A and B are shown apart, each in its own frame.
Chain A
Amino acid sequence: MLNYAIKRLGLSVAIVSLAMFLLFCMIYLVPGDPASVALGPRATDAMKEALRVKMGLDQPIWVQFMNFFMGAWTGDLGEEVLSGRPVLDVVFEQLPYTLVLIAGGISWSVALGIPLGCWAAIKRGSLADRMVGILSVAVIAVPSFVIAIYALLIFSVTLRWLPAIGAGEPGDVGDQLIHLILPSLAVGLGWVGYIARMVRASMLEVLEASHIRTARAFGLPDRTITYRYALTIAILPTITLLGVGIGQMLSSAVFAEIVFARPGVGKLVYDAILTRNFPVVTGAVLVTTVIFVLLNLIADLIVGALDPRVRSSF
């Protein structure tokens, strides 16, 4: 297992490095001079030149890259253009809100998706199965920002059951949770569909396996067979899928944060783009990339811990 974890970690470092390289190329290729963009049209040439030197833009490209690369790995993502605050601090200030939002989305998708998929597989071909199928496709097909807007209109504006905007009173966990319900549902609802379909498909496959027939032939109760012998295997591809799905949830989170006027990395990036605060944009993108890679790593390690075959194949 340790071997597996180390190899998987090495892969993650490689992926993040590649992401940094791509991000650097992107900044470099964006037309326009970052210094003039940052300072606006009324800046003097001397001001632009000073900023250019401060940002290291006068150096050769490979020095710039090494500076960026080494800086990024040591947590130095540059400074915010106007206030001069370190970008990392700005991003980390917003990060918890986004992480909680995504955790909420995952909770919805797991808590609803796994039982629904399991149920559909056991009642295969029944009306319930077909209902779950239709529902899954429906929630997958509807974009998350549409879900966010409708949830806001129905539950906050019309019914007034749940708060419409913000993240709740700081320090009041109950209030924060209530504020989390709708945005996290918007982020996670599509994934209820993906997970239900995935769990159903892999459950059906596992239930056909000969070891399940053996378990039946040993007279094990249906419950034991379904949950302990079949679901423990059927869940594995779903965990991997969730690891990948977090990337998509991150982009849904941007919409949810804008629609519900929640603080968070998505909102931060959105505002930064509007104010051309590019260091914040790259910093936030890099941090979310690292988080995405990290969560993927965790998903794979969970699969490794649950599946003895994966563990020993590394």
Chain B
Amino acid sequence: MSTLSISGLNVYFSTEDGPLHALKDVGFDVPERRIVGIVGESGCGKSTLINAILGLLADNGDIRSGEIVFEGMRDLTKLSARGMQDLRGLRISTVFQDPMGALNPVLSVGRQMTNIQYRSGQSHSEKVARAIEMLKLVRIPDAENALARYPHQFSGGMKQRIAIAMALMMEPALLIADEPTTALDATLEVTTIELLKDLQEKIGCSVLFISHHLGVIAELCDDVVVMYAGEVVERGTVRDVFQRPSHPYTRRLLECDPARQTQRTRVLPTIPGEIPDLRARPAGCVFAARCLDRHDGCDQHQPERSVSGGHAVRCNLVGSRQTQGEQA
């Protein structure tokens, strides 16, 4: 059973210039106890996807169709606001990108950590003990006294570890991490990633990990989902996707990864062009305008094609049958 199973998800934002199709036919699985990475350029819809899962889309956002099945039984798109609130922080937890702003500035860390245990049914001292235990787990020095301190008294890396401690405190089934290390420097990034992996094994949760840092994804994740302009263009195990990238976009992304540069170049290669306007999506492949392998077939609708078991791609250069369950 998958912890999270998304299929045919379409999300629109209403804007002054008409509807913006932010997520189109998004589908992938987060299997139990696995870490799934989502990678894509800025604006490709990663945060929108998370917000759709959490039921926290902006007021002008709307899930038009699709399913987000959690733990094999509940479709989150059909859950009431109250039902969603009951899952958040308890079964599904989130760590956000910005460690500086993620904690409330006027409440002490201890207060915030005990507040989120409001559904645990435990006494105050038990909640405090649990908070201290979690802070120790994420290696906050002097955990007992840290509870009385305020967020601005911690460094960025510590704040992010506190945020991770808070997210895992209730032992959720799914941890969503939206670029949790982007704001940290390289060494902190590595330790934070290792910590996350450690804790994930300890708690046995699944993780949906968002990053635009391919090295981090390769290091941490089991599976990877490559997104472009609100679509999943390629997905599979990290091994398959990184070793046999089948979508031209994935290949370009891997070529552009600074960590992969063997020669010292003055200018990092980037992919020329921009993400298409999501208010007027092309009928065919979304990447066609920037693709080096562009040909006539690209103007047609691109169904998801299977490369090998679990490795699927939306590109007609991959001459294979359609994956099952694809609603073309």
Residues of chain A at the chain B interface (Cβ within 8 Å): 209-211, 213-221, 224, 228-229, 232-233, 306-309, 312
Chain B residues with CB under 8 Å of A309's CB are: 105-106, 150, 152
Chain B residues with CB under 8 Å of A217's CB are: 54, 56, 88-89, 93-94, 96
Given A214-B163, A308-B106, A219-B152 contact (CB < 8 Å)? no
Given pairs A232-B107, A308-B108, A308-B153, 8 additional interface contacts (CB within 8 A): A210-B96, A211-B104, A217-B88, A219-B119, A220-B89, A220-B115, A233-B106, A312-B152
A213 contacts B107, CB within 8 Å?
no
Cα A228 to Cα B54 in complex, Å, equals: 22
Q: In the complex, which residue of chain B has the Cβ closest to the Cβ of A212?
A: B104
Chain B residues with CB under 8 Å of A211's CB are: 101-105
Cα A308 to Cα B110 in complex, Å, equals: 14
Chain B residues with CB under 8 Å of A215's CB are: 104
Is B86 interfacial (CB-CB < 8 Å)? yes
Shortest distance in angstroms between B49's beta carbon and chain A's nearest beta carbon? 14
Per-residue CB proximity of B295-318 to A under 8 Å, as 1/0?
000000000000000000000000
B101 contacts A220, CB within 8 Å?
no
Chain A residues with CB under 8 Å of B90's CB are: 219
B86 contacts A219, CB within 8 Å?
yes
Shortest distance in angstroms between A117's beta carbon and chain B's nearest beta carbon? 18
Cα A232 to Cα B107 in complex, Å, equals: 9
B88 contacts A308, CB within 8 Å?
no
Chain A residues with CB under 8 Å of B102's CB are: 210-211, 214
Shortest distance in angstroms between A217's beta carbon and chain B's nearest beta carbon? 4
Cα A218 to Cα B108 in complex, Å, equals: 16
Cα A215 to Cα B103 in complex, Å, equals: 8
B106 contacts A307, CB within 8 Å?
yes
A sample of 21 inter-chain contacts (CB < 8 A) reads A210-B101, A213-B96, A214-B96, A214-B103, A217-B56, A217-B93, A217-B94, A219-B88, A219-B116, A219-B119, A228-B107, A228-B115, A229-B104, A232-B106, A232-B107, A233-B104, A233-B105, A233-B106, A306-B106, A308-B152, A309-B105
Chain B residues with CB under 8 Å of A220's CB are: 89, 115-116, 118
Chain A residues with CB under 8 Å of B54's CB are: 216-217
A219 contacts B89, CB within 8 Å?
yes
Is B6 interfacial (CB-CB < 8 Å)? no
Chain A residues with CB under 8 Å of B11's CB are: none
Is B210 interfacial (CB-CB < 8 Å)? no
Per-residue CB proximity of B107-136 to A under 8 Å, as 1/0?
110000001101100000000000000000
Chain B residues with CB under 8 Å of A216's CB are: 54, 56, 88
Shortest distance in angstroms between B153's beta carbon and chain A's nearest beta carbon? 7
**Highest count of chain A CB atoms <10 Å: which of B96, B105, B118, B166:** B105
Chain B residues with CB under 8 Å of A219's CB are: 85-90, 116, 119
Given A232-B106, A306-B106, A309-B152, A218-B96 contact (CB < 8 Å)? no
